[in-house]
């Protein structure tokens, strides 16, 4: 039976690729790609890498949009830019995971993992679907960032550094 990568795994790879691009370390993507190609042997390596990099461009654009929202809501120093961008990418990743959980029936949540989590046909328009999913996640993240900014202003903070991770989400 053919085994192809599901959309949520592809979206996650695109976010990891965007994070590695942000850090300037493309070698970060090597291990997740190898793992995916091992779990989904019918995926073509060349096509997969090409599509992941195309989708990562959209992920970076969404992260830039969220960063602009954050910059408007909170003043940040130039030293914090890279850290904040990386945290925004991580929030996008978490928002994508949450979106997928909301869509799945309970039995799919119980039987997760690569052994049960695959498609029998290649994904159609996976880059476009990733763009849509990331756009929805960016809206969620942007709303959260605006709420963070309002919270920080009301508390007299100039940075989110003093808040716990639970409060930031």
Mapping DSSP to helix (H, G, I), strand (E, B) and coil, where does residue 149 land? helix
Average pLDDT of adjacent 10-residue blocks, the chain of 169 residues:
83 89 82 85 85 90 84 72 83 86 60 59 85 89 74 52 44
Query: Burial letters for 138-148: b for 16+ Cβ neighbours within 10 Å, e otherwise?
Result: bebbbebbeeb
Would you give the DSSP letter of residue 25?
A: -
Cβ–Cβ under 8 Å, residues 67 and 25: no
Q: Which residues pair with 119 in a beta bridge?
A: 4
Mapping DSSP to helix (H, G, I), strand (E, B) and coil, where does residue 4 land? strand
What does the pLDDT read at residue 150? Answer: 57
pTM over 0.85: no
Q: With CA atoms as reference, report the closest residue to 11 among 109, 132, 124, 112.
A: 132
What does the pLDDT read at residue 54? Answer: 92
């Amino acid at each position: 039976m053919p085994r192809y990568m599901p959309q949520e795994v592809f979206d996650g790879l695109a976010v990891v690729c965007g994070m590695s691009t942000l850090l300037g370390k493309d070698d970060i993507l090597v291990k997740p790609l190898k793992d995916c190609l091992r779990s989904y042997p019918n995926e073509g390596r060349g096509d997969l890498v090409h599509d992941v990099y195309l989708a990562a461009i959209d992920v970076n654009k969404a992260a830039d949009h969220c960063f602009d929202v954050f910059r408007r809501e909170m003043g940040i120093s130039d030293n914090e830019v890279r850290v904040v961008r990386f945290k925004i990418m991580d929030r996008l990743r978490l928002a994508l995971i949450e979106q997928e959980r909301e869509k799945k029936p309970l039995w799919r949540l119980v039987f997760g993992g690569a052994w049960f989590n695959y498609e029998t046909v290649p994904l159609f328009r996976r880059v476009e679907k990733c763009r849509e999913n990331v756009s929805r996640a960016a809206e969620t993240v942007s709303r959260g960032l605006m709420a963070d900014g309002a919270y920080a202003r009301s508390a007299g903070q100039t940075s989110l550094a003093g808040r716990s991770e639970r409060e930031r989400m």
